[in-house]
Structure 1
């Protein structure tokens, strides 16, 4: 059977649900396809954190109060470095720092999917997997599933890192190695603590308190040094790594309530995010090293950029969307991609991070960058570098 819509979206996770809601509120008729069969399905392998830059999209979607009521935790992340902790604090008498949100995907995904399903104009179709794309005169005109043919002015691939839509689209992709492992587990009952990240140069780890008294703890050690040990004893290697962290989370005071899960290989993937009649959002367009916790936020933001660019209607403005996507994320992704090679800190990173561990203004500047509120060029601006040089010079003089 053939169905006609303005927009057909493959994947009803974060990027897909956000895209569906944003297009529907602009008057579009949207088919939202999800290959899984239950509305409460959720992604497992995820950092479970949103950076501050993503919160405006949640406010636009109207789901932020529901997430907060479900226990989502606001956070300003602290960072351990070889020079000490970076602990951003508001300026005395100033506004609170912009905060992110920690929330389990088992909480986030069903809330977003239910919100999309009740949005007028959205038809949520569970158990529908895309098997191919429709094309006419070089333009994508819809999708095929096992049971349906759906035509649309715009087809959106929101189906994740291993996107079926992207695979059928012919869009070019750049794949690069990530030389870190990635493993995490969930713990209940740990003492209250802020969100924390450890940069051990080059190994990394993080601990993010989530809803339901759950703390997600992860490590990203180098493949070269740790692959053999993790293959022999994944759980033992993981917990030994966590216990050895400086100011380590006291995992023995809580209860591990999940298996240790993760991957030995998660390459970085960048795809051109559009072609006539088709756009990619979220991980389908750009899947970068999960260490940085940007995936959920970039999924929400790319959905917003696509909807904003699609004026006067779906399928229009795709070149504008591509420019916005590239200008907003390219510098961040390239830095993350480079760091995933397991290189040591470069001189600029050493300068800025050491200053942020010693100076409140530099710490707030770092927090804006870590929250993806400023880009790499702004983070390493001449003014920021000059302040860092002064801070470190005074530190050496004992002032």
Structure 2
């Protein structure tokens, strides 16, 4: 859609044959960081008409709940959206198909890349048992964590272990209010996100070391016991579970170089991190925008595509590397480090620190700004004041 809006002709190859196909295993949330792209695409009104829920996430920690609130007299906090993929994916696919310049080809699977003089120049596509070749000034792989385009490209890839399980289920009729909630049990995690159509997506990410055997033997029972044991747990027994308990026991972190000669990767095809952070959909929108900003005019108007691709790679690295490395590190299932404990405990005790943490969790600021010397000093002051205020009296 973004490329076509600049005047480019786009062949959109979709391996599914139906307009209503959607991804099942997902956190079903869009972070506040991607809302500008959602608005640019004109997606916000139709998503909200379809029932997408605005969210400002609350986080449970052992120091208490972090409940971000706007500063007195200030604008509301930036919000994200919770929307199930069965709602999001068909809506986005239809809007793309209706965009002038986009030709949607359903049931078209890529099985090879075309190359000439050291540059990717198109793809081999199989549809209805027939193979055809499509040439293009740019090939974009937006085909997910197990990207076929990424694998065929041979671009460098870094894999790292994720030592957590991931399981979720959908419930209707929970008296959940409006808040999206995340539990940082350190190191286990869980979340409950109210979504469209009165459905709440409930998920957990327990450590493999302590929970793998139980979830292997009894996934549904283990999931519901885990959720019921959460502090201030979502009242799943007051609602109706409308889905199976689904999940994965192995979901490594994947980071591919996001571009090559004549080719770019966006979303999970470039970077797929631990899903407990709920960043995959948002980073897909954002990386698409960065790519089009960097190379769109050249693709549409015959300019310098290689320079634009290098600029995209630089933007992608600058924006996401520090976030992803921290997520990789935490996916090893370690306890919070001293800096994380300092910042999280302050956020549970102070409104300003809570807003600072929310900006980071929403991916609106990077790791360097989140853990800057000034931020650490302010957090230390908050915690020192908390200790003084709660110290036993000598009288």
TM range, normalised to the smaller chain? over 0.9
Q: Give the unaligned 5+ runs of structure 1.
A: 1-20
Matched residue, 1:175:
159
> Is residue 298 from structure 1 mapped to residue 289 from structure 2 by the alignment?
no
Matched residue, 1:355:
346
Alpha-carbon displacement from aligned partner over 1:256-313 (angstroms, at most 9, x marks no partner): 0000001000000000000110000000000000000000000000000000001541
Give the SS at the match of 2:21: coil
Post-superposition offset of 1:94 = 1.0
Give the SS at the match of 2:140: strand
Alpha-carbon distance in structure 1 between the residues aligned to 2:260 and 2:54: 37
Matched residue, 1:384:
375
Matches of residues 120-131 of structure 1 in structure 2 within 5 Å?
120-131=100-111
Alpha-carbon distance in structure 2 between the residues aligned to 1:264 and 1:62: 37
Give the SS at the match of 2:137: strand
> Is residue 46 from structure 1 mapped to residue 26 from structure 2 by the alignment?
yes
Matches of residues 142-157 of structure 1 in structure 2 within 5 Å?
142-146=122-126, 147-157=131-141
Alpha-carbon displacement from aligned partner over 1:126-161 (angstroms, at most 9, x marks no partner): 000000000001100000012320000000001100
Post-superposition offset of 1:383 = 1.4
What is the TM-score when the length of structure 2 is the normalising length? 0.95
Q: 2:234 aligns with which of 241, 249, 254?
A: 249
Alpha-carbon distance in structure 1 between the residues aligned to 2:363 and 2:190: 19
Q: Give the unaligned 5+ runs of structure 2.
A: 300-304, 391-395
Alpha-carbon distance in structure 2 between the residues aligned to 1:231 and 1:293: 24
CA contact under 8 A between 2:3 and 2:296: conserved in structure 1?
Answer: no
Alpha-carbon displacement from aligned partner over 1:85-114 (angstroms, at most 9, x marks no partner): 000011111110011000000000011100
Provide the aligned C-alpha RMSD in A: 0.7
Post-superposition offset of 1:192 = 3.0
Matches of residues 44-83 of structure 1 in structure 2 within 5 Å?
44-83=24-63
Matched residue, 1:91:
71
Matches of residues 280-319 of structure 1 in structure 2 within 5 Å?
280-314=265-299, 315-316=305-306, 317-319=308-310
Matched residue, 2:198:
213
Q: Which runs of 4+ in 1 moved over 6 A?
A: none
Q: 2:336 aligns with which of 329, 335, 345?
A: 345
Matched residue, 2:255:
270
Give the SS at the match of 1:153: coil
Alpha-carbon distance in structure 2 between the residues aligned to 1:343 and 1:63: 38
Alpha-carbon displacement from aligned partner over 1:150-195 (angstroms, at most 9, x marks no partner): 0000000011000110111010100000000000000000003310
Give the SS at the match of 1:397: helix
Give the SS at the match of 2:170: strand
What is the TM-score when the length of structure 1 is the normalising length? 0.94
Give the SS at the match of 1:91: coil
Post-superposition offset of 1:73 = 0.2
Aligned length: 379
